[in-house]
Amino acid sequence: MEDVKIHHKSVIITKNVEAAGVLISPEDFDRWVERGRFLKAIKLGLNDSEKGKILSDEELLAELESGFYKLD
């Protein structure tokens, strides 16, 4: 467990000589989840762009200001 938590090494768990799972640290798991979310957001953005679903600079600024605060 020390190698998993401190040294970020993974452990492959086998069942009947076949890989059945992988043990990783909570920090590594969080990184994988965030990486997946990031890649999904990029794919969605690229798909929107290909479909022409884009905003001009002015439209983006207005959208941001309506949800947050006045940008200078």
Residue-level pLDDT at 22: 97
Hey, is 23 helix, strand or coil? strand
Mean pLDDT, the chain, integer? 92
Q: String of b and e for 32-43 (b: at least 16 CB within 10 Å)?
A: eeeeeeeeeeee
Best mean pLDDT range from 3-7, 18-22, 65-69: 18-22
- Say what percent of the chain tops pLDDT 90: 78
Which residues does 32 contact at the CB level (< 8 Å), separation at least 6?
24
Helix intervals (H) in the chain: 2-5, 26-50, 57-67
Per-domain boundaries in the chain:
2-67
